[in-house]
Structure 1
Amino acid sequence: MVSLADRLQQCYSGAVYDVMRDLGLVPRVLPRTILGLTKTMKAAGPVFTVRGRPDPDVSAHESLLAWTGLLSKAPAGHVVVCQPQDDVRALMGELSAETLKLRGVRGYIVDGGCRDTGFIEAAGYPVFCRYTTPIDIVAGWVPEAFDEPITIGNVVISPGDYILADRDGIVVIPKDEAERVVARTEEVMRTESALRQAIRNGQDPQEAYLQYGKF
């Protein structure tokens, strides 16, 4: 059986947004400044949240021990979403991305920075971030909470919520609504395929809208 995460992976953020709006749900979209390292990157699945903070007193050893512990805790089949409360450091790098990929983690989204981007792009691991910098977390940052609600922009993200990140943006689906939203999005995408073909065949756009109820 195809998992809900795999089904969501086949969707796109615009369609999910439309469905949530049409179902009367408040669409939860992360700030548009959080982007994939490449346009083709895409990540979808249930969320594993991380929150951390800068710590000027932490030693290099303590910070790396805490960081590798974070990587160990990230569960397979999930997307890690990190609120670092930091605007200085990279919260993802080459070895960390390789580790998450090999552990079966579906992607990484951070309200902060990333480095080693060329290596990560070559590995094909989906990472979404706000900026790049060579500065890392060593002797400067520690995680403080896992699998607890976090806030990015004006969006509260809870453990187990579903997330879809693609070239257009990042949308968060409440866990209790995920099955309904994905199923409805699949229906919408089938309708859009028929509508797209009608337009290509020369149908008037207004007539097509009235026939299919979408545009």
Structure 2
Amino acid sequence: MDYPHCVGAFWGEINATVHRGLGLCGVLTNGVMRDLGDVPEDFPMIAGSVGPSHAFVHVEAIGVPVSVFGLTVAPGDLVHADRHGAVVVPPDIIPVLAAAIEKLRATERLILEPARQQGFDLAKFEEAWARFEAART
């Protein structure tokens, strides 16, 4: 609620460990996080900043939509987040998501595998790119 002037960290070793124990699989916040060396390794945390202070940080509400850096997240949303950012996955995409990811990975392999081989040159790149373009469309 105090973004962009956040000074206190709610998310650190204790809250990350407690929430992981409650079944959460990570956190996305525009607030502050702390205890970087002590949070569970399998509990990804993406935050607006890192800081040493607890300050006066407290929970205002549970189970309500929130806005994190302009991304609105509602209870039940599937969120994909990594070091590059976060997106809410639309519910109608979820049934086809696995197949779409596999198609993406397969088409990327058409470029990556030849590029990692000895003797890769412009002619081999052009061949790989043609296969890549044909597979994408």
TM-score between both structures, scaled by the size of structure 1: 0.51
C-alpha change, 1:212 and 1:183, in structure 2 (3 Å) is same
- CA drift of 1:106 comes to 1.0
> Which of the residues 101, 105, 115 maps onto 2:34?
115
Which consecutive aligned stretches of 4+ in structure 1 deviate over 6 angstroms post-superposition? none
Q: Look up the SS of the partner of 2:9 in the other structure.
A: coil
Tell me if the contact between 1:90 and 1:134 (Cα under 8 Å) persists in the aligned partners: yes
Structure 1 alignment gaps of length 5 or more: 1-52, 55-83
- CA drift of 1:85 comes to 7.4
- CA drift of 1:177 comes to 1.9
> Which of the residues 93, 108, 119 maps onto 1:177?
93
C-alpha change, 1:154 and 1:96, in structure 2 (3 Å) is closer
Alignment of 1:188-203 (within 5 A): 188-201=104-117, 202=120
Q: Amino acid of the residue matched to residue 212 of structure 1?
A: F
RMSD: 2.5
> Which of the residues 127, 132, 135 maps onto 1:212?
132
Which position in structure 1 is the counterpart of 2:6?
87
- CA drift of 1:93 comes to 1.4
Q: Distance in 2 between matches of 1:185 and 1:161?
A: 19
TM-score between both structures, scaled by the size of structure 2: 0.75
Q: Distance in 2 between matches of 1:160 and 1:206?
A: 44
Aligned-pair identity (%)? 26
Structure 2 alignment gaps of length 5 or more: none
Q: Would you say how many aligned residue pairs link Structure 1 and Structure 2?
A: 129
Q: Look up the SS of the partner of 1:164 in the other structure.
A: strand
> Which of the residues 56, 59, 62 maps onto 1:143?
59
C-alpha change, 1:109 and 1:93, in structure 2 (3 Å) is same
Which position in structure 2 is the counterpart of 1:131?
49
> Which of the residues 65, 87, 103 maps onto 1:187?
103
Larger Rg: 2
Which position in structure 2 is the counterpart of 1:104?
23
- CA drift of 1:114 comes to 0.9
Higher RCO (C-alpha 8 Å, min separation 6): 1
Q: Amino acid of the residue matched to residue 69 of structure 2?
A: G
